[in-house]
Each structure stands twice: as C-alpha cells, then as structure tokens.
Structure 1
Amino acid sequence: MKPQEEKGRCCWMIVGQTLMRSVSQAVRPAAAASRQKHTLPDLPYDYDALEPHISADIMWRHHGKHHAEYVKNLNMIQEQYLEALQMGDKTAQQVLKPARLLNYGGHINHSMFWNNLSPNGGGEPKGVLMNAIKRDFGSFETMKQEMSAASMSVQGSGWGWLGFNKVTGKLKITTCANEALLHNVTGLKPLLGFDVWEHAYHRQYDNSRSDYIKSIWNVINWDEVSKRFNKV
C-alpha cells in the first residue's frame, strides 16, 4: 500500500477530546475515511424513574428527542464533512465546523449526563471524592452551593460543571456555553455536569432554573461520579 493510500484510511474522528483540539488534528484528509455512525445510548433507567425530581415527559423529550437529534445531525454532518474533505473543499469544511462541534458536544455531554443521574441517587459522595471536595471547597455543602450558583449564572444555554484539574490536582467549578466540551475549553476533566438548557427543565419547572437545580441534587449518582474521579 502506498503511503498516501495508507494515510487515506485514517478515521476523521478520534474518540474523545483529541477530536476537539483542532480541525487539523482531529480530521485527516481521506478518500476512504471511516463512516462510523454514532448511536443514541440507552438510558440506564426508565423515563419515569427520576420522578418527581425529573418528570417522565422531560426525560422522554430530553433523551428521545433532543439527544437523538444531536446524534442524527452529527451523523449527517459527518457525511457532509467527509465529502468536503474528499473534494478538498475548505470553505465547506469551515462552514460545517460549528455545527459539527455543537452536535458532537451535545452527544458527549448528554451521554455523561444520563449516567450521572440515578433513581437511587442523591445524598453525598463518599471516600476519596468526598475527601477531595472537603479539601478544595471546605465542605460538601459549600461545593453544592457554588455549583448551583455557577449553573444559575449561565447566560442562555449551557452547562455547570464540577471538573478536575490534573495539573493542580484540585477540583474546580466552572461553566461552558451551549454544548462546548469542558476539557476542550478549560482543560478540566469533567466529573459532574448540570444541563441548564431550557429543554432540560422548562416543561416541568415553568422556566424556573433554580427549582430545577435544587431538585436535581436528589438524583445525582455519586457512585458514577466517584468512578469517574478515580479514573482521572
């Protein structure tokens, strides 16, 4: 196989944050680039399992409609982007880039979000995660208040995040607009994210983001968050 042909077999999408670093790093010009399809992950619980904190109607629309739309759009845009690569159409590549990043971010963020919720959730974390929270925030209640406030501060649509800084070895709370990936924007490893787009709560909480944020603490899957923390 010629070197150019071998290079042409490279997949345009590198799983995880490598994809999002830059277009030049994440995408390789290819005549035979991979057309791997993204799929909507199943929920680890029923749509009504988080009631009364998150209604079955919200969960059905959020997962079955909004997340599904991200996946559908991402697959469609991926095909268009690959065609633009094969044709050497740099203008089309630049035009498609924002939508590709938005839908990829929406897919990744929501895939984590579902697993961070549980009908058996709530309460407080334990073990090394709890120790880290106390070390970096003083107490769990302080961390909770700071994350709630950060999530409330998002202008328009976005996410509130609890992340881990591998350089400093400390936890940090911040926000990201729209569907930007936390690690891509801040370098933090995502542990817990609050989706504060209106579609996550407005049909149940009459657009009261504060009531939604207050309620969602009751279904946080701290076991899952702890597993993610242990890995980073």
Structure 2
Amino acid sequence: MPPLPYAYNALEPIISADSLRIHHDILHKNYVDGLNRAELNLVDARRDNNFELIKYWENELAYNGSGHILHSIFWAVMSPVGKGGEPGNITLSEIINYFGSFDAFKEQFSNAANKIEGSYWAILTWQPTWHRLEILQAEKHQNKTQWSGIPILVLDVWEHAYYLDYKTHRDEYIQKWWQLVNWEEVESRLKLAMNGEVKLTI
C-alpha cells in the first residue's frame, strides 16, 4: 500500500483531510487487499489445477488491480494548490497537437468526467498505437479502456472521491480539482510513456 506523497490536509480546501484519509487509507487499501487476494487464489488454482472459479478471480484481478493502479496515479498527479506548476513543454505541445488548444483539452476532459454515468474515471492516456494523447472514460476501473494506452493524468469521479466535500455537486469538484494538478508529475509520466515505460510508484 503506497503512502501518500503529502500530508492528509495538503489538498485543502479542495479535498478535505477527512475525505482523503477515508479514500486512501480505507478504500484504496481495499483494492490492494482485493488484488493480493486474487493473486494468491490464482496461485492456488494453478497449483491444484482447479480453475472452477477462474471467472471470479480473473474479474477480481482486473477490478482491484486497475483500482490500485489508477488510485496510485491519482495521488501522484495532485499537489497542494499552487504547487503543481504549469503544463510542461512536451505535455502542452502534445495537447495542442491533438486537441487544438489547452482550453479545448480541459473542456473535453472536464465534460468526460462530469457527464459519465455511475462510477467512473476520466483518464488522459498516451496511446502508443496512435502516437498521441487520448481522453477516455473508465467504468469500474477496468471497463471502457483502450488497449496499450498508458495513463498520464487521471481524475476519480466515483462518489467516494468527492461526496463528503461536495455532495451531489460533481461539476464543482471537477472544476476545483484543476487547481491540484501536478503538471511536473504529468510531464514526467508522459516522457516515460512516450518511451513505452510506466511510472506507478508514488
């Protein structure tokens, strides 16, 4: 279970310490525990050559593994208000190259986050297949993905991410969240992704 790279109150007033503590220490940990449980049960299945529950454990592997990965990135791409810098040269160039402008990118990303139904993520990925950025929505962590895409910037819009602070006002949470984006971290992840590398640890 990776620790947060900042104090629990570091993202206030955008995200409260109580919300962050619950989200990280309890909910993220549940995904880590679920991933470990799935891995161990698959070890047992291979050892015993008993794959009767393979569908269940493979689903648990995908769901909890994706939840752990996306949450780890989510914590890393945020920083205290005013500490995240500006979009790096490579990030800004790639954004303008595909989306036309930073404002157009921000509007598409925000709308992708706000207008999805249920429990989702908005994700900016580097897609090696197309050699460009792409905005995707992810359902239940692992659904609606685009294979080979590498997450660069992610926004959790499950209710547990914002409800304690914003109730039903998801759009307000999304707009304020932009103040937390750690663009230096995004630039670092993009550089690695363009070379086919993934940075997970925070």
* TM-score for both structures, normalised by structure 1: 0.78
Q: Secondary structure at the match of 1:90?
A: coil
SS at match of 1:89: coil
Q: 1:127-176: per-residue Cα shift (whole Å, max 9, x none)?
A: 11111111211211111010000111222111101112223222111111
Structure 1 residue 224 and structure 2 residue 185: aligned? yes
2: CA distance, partners of 1:141 / 1:189 = 22
2:152 is aligned to: 191
Give the AA of the match of 2:139.
Answer: A
Q: Could you tell me which runs of 5 or more consecutive residues in structure 2 were left unpaired when the two chains were aligned.
A: 195-202
CA contact (8 A) 2:114 2:170 kept: yes
2:53 alignment partner, SS class = helix
Match of 2:65 in 1: 104
Q: Is the 8 A contact 1:121 1:222 kept in 2?
A: no
Distance in 2, matches of 1:123 and 1:140, equals: 15
- 8 Å CA contact 2:85–2:182 kept in 1: the answer is no
Which runs of structure 2 are paired with 1:1-40 in the superposition (5 Å)? 40=1
Alignment partner of 2:112 out of 150, 155, 165: 150
* Higher-Rg member (1/2): 1
Conserved? CA contact 1:123–1:218, under 8 Å:
no
Q: 1:94 aligns with which of 36, 52, 55?
A: 55
Which of 46, 49, 54 is the aligned partner of 2:15? 54
- 3-state SS of the aligned residue for 1:180? coil
Output the amino acid matched with 1:112: I
Deviation at 1:43, TM superposition (A): 0.6
1:188/1:181 CA distance change after superposition, 3 Å:
farther
Give the length in aligned residue pairs.
Answer: 192
Residue range with higher mean Cα deviation, 123-132 or 200-209: 123-132
- Using structure 2 for the length normalisation, give the TM-score: 0.89
Instruction: State the alpha-carbon separation in 1 of the partners of residues 86 and 111 from structure 2.
Output: 18
Q: How does 1:35-184 map to 2 (within 5 A)?
A: 40-119=1-80, 120-122=82-84, 124-180=86-142
Distance 2:143 2:25 in 1: 21
Point out where structure 1 has 5 or more consecutive residues left out of the alignment.
Answer: 1-39
For each residue in 1:158-215, what CA deviation from the matched residue of structure 2 results, as whole angstroms up to 9, or x when unmatched?
Answer: 1101112223222111111111178x63432211011111110011101221111111
Q: 1:7 matched to which residue of 2?
A: none
| CA RMSD across the alignment | 1.6
Q: Secondary structure at the match of 1:91?
A: coil
